[in-house]
Amino acid sequence: MICILLVAGHGTVLETQIKNDDTGLYNHLTGVPKALLPGIGGKKILDFWWETVNMRQIFTAVYLVTNADKYKHYERWATANDFPVENVVNDGSTTLDDQLGAIADLELVIQSRKLHDDVVVIAGDMLCADQNFDISQVIRFFRSKPGELIIYYEMEESERRSSRGIVEVCPETHRITHFLEKPQEGLTDSRLASVVFYCIRRDTLSCMLDFLRLQPQSTNRTFGQFWEWLINEKQLDVFGMKLPTGFQLIGQVGLSDYTKWLSHYSTKKQDNPDEPIICRSYARVGLIGNPSDGFNGKTIAMSISNFWAEVTLIESQTLILVPHPLNDPTEFGSLQDLFCISRQEGYLGGLRLLQATCKKFYQFCSKRGIALTKQNFTLKYDTNIPRQVGLAGSSAIISATLKCLMKFYKITDNDLPKPIRANFILSVETDELFITAGLQDRVVQVYEGLVYMDFSKKLMDEQGYGNYVSMDMSNLPPFWLAYLRDPSDSGRIHSNIRQRWLSGEQMVIEAMRSFAELTDQARKAIQDRDWTHLAQLMDQNFELRRSVYTDDCLGSGNLKMAQLAKQFGSAVKLPGSGGAVVGLCLDQERLVEMRQAFQEAGCVFCIITPYNPSASSVRGLP
């Protein structure tokens, strides 16, 4: 593969303004070519790109195309930076009037050096906000697609579409469906801006000659017009890859814009570089409908602030996953201590969740055409969510880890929308760790708050996710939660229901339909603030689950907690897969008595504090 750096433009605005600046701040830059101006961190702009592409395991050769006016500058730069001087190509132009145009410059080096290979084309005078750019990811993605590749980024609010080449990209195939060169406002909703960073297959290079014949004027021989012609008219397959960073071509900008973007990108780089990223995800309780989420049913669940998982990410030289001192023990007081801890908690702590999330995240970004920077980090986690009681402790750690990774690598909600994020978290558990799970927990931990979820087969088949609606959390009644101090593995509670459902057993199919009907009734009861009816529906949910799963599957501990709650007239059901119960007692005096009874029975009891994301964001909570 060949890399070609283009620095042959004759943009005179910036050079003239530097020459005429009367502050004296830029006298030392008079006559300096744009690509040799200072970039991020004081490094020359072209130095950054040369360091990025100077990879012999990827490129067999790198060429630099410049003009006659600035040729001597780049020749000396090449000598000082171990760039092969013989690969600096002079296009012969000396002014803006006799310039060849970007496409003609590219064709010049291809023909004069008899190149017969795929090429990467990059503008060497382009500011890149991210100085840890990894070009190998771009090449891998390009080789996985049957066409050309355009790099794009999501514009900042201050940037105008009319100053950029705008791409419209199919999110599933990553194919660029439309290219608009500097469109006027209203022509497209896309804010994805193409930059002069392309991968072109050798079989497509011949198209440039056809384009040049159609465009005799050098001012029209731009990459923007080339891609408009190739994508919109010839309809060749061209794909897009997103870099979660910003780019600015300084070829035609003035001094104020150059200094503005240089300062902006430098400030972004320096802002709290070592400040840790800390993210939380909360435990959840299924209020109604569960466990039908794994069977095309409907549920309502709520995130609770009583329990959470917290993940901390900080940039580091190498990638480090820190074991939790309690959940991932590596040191024990004695062999008996090891025996007791292993018997009660098993061998699977949270470290595997961090590792699996990181692995899946890299895989997801690679497949979705999102290039990640070459930055390393240290990850550690903490959690107070009780283990093995069905409160979504594992998915909370995964969800919090994903939040940290998205912030660190600047992955936006557009890159990883909330419904897809829930699917991602589930796939970490089911595909990587073989944990039996459904979508409910992951959805409510992504959306947070009180969420109605419809997982109907039609929705799941058509769009790959359900219909998720955040509900009003104001004036909720006092739900309570109790759980066993020494639970068994909650995963056993699922028993053989899935096999029975897949085989078409009518009793199971009807039960899942009934769970969905209870959920719709509960949704209306919550909207109407009819807490008595909601309590009745919660009881029906428990009895329906008991009838289809059987008492042996639910387990004696869960049944004893449910029976104890009923003695005090409280609604009760399982909030998850087992090991805990959630309830609604509208009689405050009996609620106090019930708390004492649960504690005397050796259970942990608490009043639920709902986690309201909108209220928390106002208070500045994580």
Give 251's pLDDT tier (boundaries 50, 70, 90): low
In a domain, residue 263? The reply is: yes
Are residues 194 and 250 both part of a single domain? yes
CA torsion angle for 123, 125, 129, 135 (degrees, to 10)?
Answer: 40
**Tens of pLDDT, residues 541-568:** 999 999 999 898 888 999 999 999 999 9
Are residues 317 and 178 both part of a single domain? no
Sign (positive/negative) of CA torsion 604, 608, 612, 617? Answer: negative
Are residues 443 and 465 both part of a single domain? yes
CA torsion angle for 145, 151, 153, 155 (degrees, to 10)?
Answer: -130
pLDDT at 622 over 60: no
Please state, in angstroms and rounded to a whole number, the distance separating the CA atoms of residues 424 and 309: 18
- Looking at per-residue pLDDT, the higher value among 487 and 394 belongs to 394
Q: Per the structure block, which two tokens stand in for 341? A: 């801890």
Residue with the two structure tokens 């040729």: 71
Are residues 445 and 560 both part of a single domain? yes
Name the phi and psi angles at 12, rounded to 5. -105, -10
Residue type, 429: E
Q: The domain that contains 243 carries what CATH number?
A: 3.90.550.10
In a domain, residue 622? The reply is: no
Last residue of a domain, one of 270, 304, 320: 270
pLDDT at 621: 43
**How far apart, in Å, are the Cα atoms of 82 and each of 72, 179, 511?**
16, 37, 72
Q: Going by DSSP bridges, is the β-strand pair 580-584/479-484 parallel, antiparallel, or unpaired? A: antiparallel
Are residues 377 and 503 both part of a single domain? yes
Contact 43, 268 (CB under 8 A): no
pLDDT at 491: 38
Are residues 290 and 262 both part of a single domain? no
Residue with the two structure tokens 């109605």: 452
In a domain, residue 237? The reply is: yes
- Least confident span in 39-48, 188-197, 296-305, 320-329: 39-48
In a domain, residue 65? The reply is: yes
pLDDT at 620 over 50: no
Q: Going by DSSP bridges, is the β-strand pair 376-383/320-321 parallel, antiparallel, or unpaired? A: parallel
> Which range scores top for mean pLDDT: 201-210, 362-371, 480-489, 526-535?
526-535
Are residues 113 and 243 both part of a single domain? yes
In a domain, residue 434? The reply is: yes
pLDDT at 436: 79
Q: Going by DSSP bridges, is the β-strand pair 176-181/165-169 parallel, antiparallel, or unpaired? A: antiparallel
441 assigned to active site = yes
Are residues 329 and 251 both part of a single domain? no
Please state, in angstroms and rounded to a whole number, the distance separating the CA atoms of residues 152 and 227: 13
Per-residue burial over 436-474, b = 16 or more CB atoms within 10 Å of its CB, e = otherwise: ebbbbbbbbbbbbbbbbbbbeeeeeeeeebbebeeeebe
With residue 121 as reference, give the H or E element that holds it: strand 119-123
Give mean pLDDT, residues 137-155. 93
In a domain, residue 8? The reply is: yes
Are residues 531 and 564 both part of a single domain? yes
In a domain, residue 620? The reply is: no
As a whole-number percent, the residues of the chain with pLDDT over 70 amount to 96
Please state, in angstroms and rounded to a whole number, the distance separating the CA atoms of residues 75 and 66: 10
Please state, in angstroms and rounded to a whole number, the distance separating the CA atoms of residues 595 and 604: 9
Please state, in angstroms and rounded to a whole number, the distance separating the CA atoms of residues 390 and 441: 10
Q: What's the 3-state SS for 346-366?
A: CCCCCHHHHHHHHHHHHHHHH
Give 439's pLDDT tier (boundaries 50, 70, 90): very high
- Spell out the alpha helix ranges (H) of 431-550: 440-447, 457-463, 497-502, 506-528, 531-549
As a whole-number percent, the residues of the chain with pLDDT over 90 amount to 68
In a domain, residue 299? The reply is: yes
Q: The domain that contains 450 carries what CATH number?
A: 3.30.230.120
pLDDT at 325 over 70: yes
Please state, in angstroms and rounded to a whole number, the distance separating the CA atoms of residues 65 and 33: 13
Please state, in angstroms and rounded to a whole number, the distance separating the CA atoms of residues 96 and 10: 5
Give mean pLDDT, residues 132-153. 91
Last residue of a domain, one of 249, 270, 291: 270
pLDDT at 448 over 50: yes
Last residue of a domain, one of 220, 244, 270: 270
Angle, to 10 degrees, between the axis of helix 13-20 and the axis of helix 255-270?
90
pLDDT at 619: 36
Give 617's pLDDT tier (boundaries 50, 70, 90): very low
Give mean pLDDT, residues 612-618. 67
With residue 566 as reference, give the H or E element that holds it: helix 556-567
pLDDT at 268: 61
DSSP one-letter code for 323: P
Please state, in angstroms and rounded to a whole number, the distance separating the CA atoms of residues 291 and 282: 19
Using alpha carbons, select from 156, 165, 157 the residue that is nearest to residue 188.
165
Q: How far is CA 374 from the centre of its chain?
A: 16
Are residues 10 and 158 both part of a single domain? yes
Sign (positive/negative) of CA torsion 231, 236, 242, 243? Answer: negative
**Tens of pLDDT, residues 111-121:** 999 999 999 99
Please state, in angstroms and rounded to a whole number, the distance separating the CA atoms of residues 577 and 291: 8
Are residues 502 and 555 both part of a single domain? yes
Name the phi and psi angles at 388, rounded to 5. 60, 35
Give 273's pLDDT tier (boundaries 50, 70, 90): low
Please state, in angstroms and rounded to a whole number, the distance separating the CA atoms of residues 454 and 501: 18
Please state, in angstroms and rounded to a whole number, the distance separating the CA atoms of residues 263 and 269: 10
Name the phi and psi angles at 233, rounded to 5. -95, -55
Please tell me which residue in 47, 91, 441, 454 is annotated as part of the active site: 441
Q: How many domains does the chain have?
A: 2
pLDDT at 489: 40
Full domain range(s) for residue 394:
278-615
- Report the length, in residues, of the chain: 622
Are residues 502 and 564 both part of a single domain? yes
- Mean pLDDT rounded to a whole number for the chain: 90
